[in-house]
Homo-oligomer: A and B are copies of this chain.
Amino acid sequence: MTTSREIRLKSRPVGTPTADNFELASVSLPDPGPGEVQVRNTWMTVDPYMRGRMNDVQSYTPPFQIGEALQGGAVGEVTKSNDPAFKAGDLVQSFFGWREAFNAPAAAVQALDTHGLPPQAFLGVAGMPGMTAYVGLIKIAALKEGDVVFVSGAAGAVGQIVCQIAKLKGHTVIGSAGGADKIAYLKEIGVDHAIDYKAEPDLTAALMRAAPDGIDVYFDNVGGAHLEAALMAARPFARFALCGMISQYNATDMGAGVRGLIMAVGKQLRIEGFIVSSHFNELPAFVEQMSGWIAAGKVTWRETVEDGIENAPTAFLKLFKGENTGKMLVKL
């Protein structure tokens, strides 16, 4: 018998989540049954999209259930195996985050070959956030030579990778983030114009100063005023990849709306939302290119780490306060 602590959804958040929406519980794990493995997680991820699953609405993923452990990406080590595919000590990836340990069918976990990277990189730059950046920029926004690229949430898990892919491909990149530390980080990774949106009274004006001839690509992680600024600054035939809208996730009503959408007609803009899981066919291309870029020192990344399963809700809540630079992770 092994004990595992896990974070459960105690109540559905209304508006911005608070610590009260979560509870820490302990469960006892029997030895894994036939065909099962037992895994001790070493890292788990918290991501803004999880906020949507806390609402009781059907979306592209089913809602979390009250009283049950949350779910999300994790990496860990097999501690006991009752399946020939794994042995104790094997490194694995799974979707059984928000818990210290778990039993699962062997088919529900994936062996992880780190190729020399730290394992938690597969929850960030080399995992879904990195692939989201890649798919959004290359496939959805159809990045092409000469494009001026604007990225919001540029110092976040996805944004930091978008900026670097665009830079290594030779583009002018404008990134927005909140606060001096993040702005300094953006400059460090080569962003041409870093906009501190918290210090700018008029985001559109700031974007127009950074891109006097306009932008060709907008990678949206934020929505709201950022999207309005991008509509105003867009050049004809600009493409918007809508990855997320963190400014909207805690809204309790439909809010103020996005103004200036009429620009999309005259400027012939293409505005497209996407979910990375619909683009798994791009995984081999992503892995090949990203591993090359990392090996060549062309892509780097930051992490913000909380320690211990009991601090996973704190890590999650910090996402909505902008208290992470780069990927927000929990070390277990």
Contact = CB atoms under 8 A, between A and B. Distances in A.
A296 interface: no
A219 to B, nearest CB: 12
Interface in A246-292: 248, 254-275, 278
Interface stretch (A79-87, A195-203, A236-244): A236-244
A159 interface: no
Contacts of A236: 60
B278 A274 contact: no
A52 B263 CA distance: 12
Given A60-B236, A269-B273, A254 B264 contact: no
A156 to B, nearest CB: 15
A206 interface: no
A223 B261 contact: yes
Nearest to A232: B254
A272 B273 contact: no
A264 B223 CA distance: 11
Nearest to A254: B259
Between A59, A228, A268, the greatest number of chain B beta carbons within 10 A of the residue's beta carbon is seen for: A268
Q: In the assembly, how many copies of this chain are there?
A: 2
Contact of A266 (B223, B264, B270, B273): B273
Given A267-B273, A273-B266, A275-B265, A254 B260 contact: yes
A141 interface: no
A101 interface: no
A222 to B, nearest CB: 11
A308 B194 CA distance: 58
A128 interface: no
Contacts of A265: 242-245, 273-275
A74 B329 CA distance: 64
Contact of A268 (B227, B264, B278): B278
29 contacts: A52-B266, A60-B236, A60-B266, A60-B267, A223-B262, A227-B261, A228-B257, A242-B264, A242-B265, A243-B265, A245-B261, A248-B262, A255-B259, A256-B257, A256-B259, A258-B258, A258-B261, A261-B261, A263-B273, A264-B271, A265-B273, A265-B274, A265-B275, A268-B272, A268-B273, A268-B274, A269-B272, A269-B273, A270-B272
Interface of A: 52, 59-60, 223, 227-228, 236, 242-245, 248, 254-275, 278
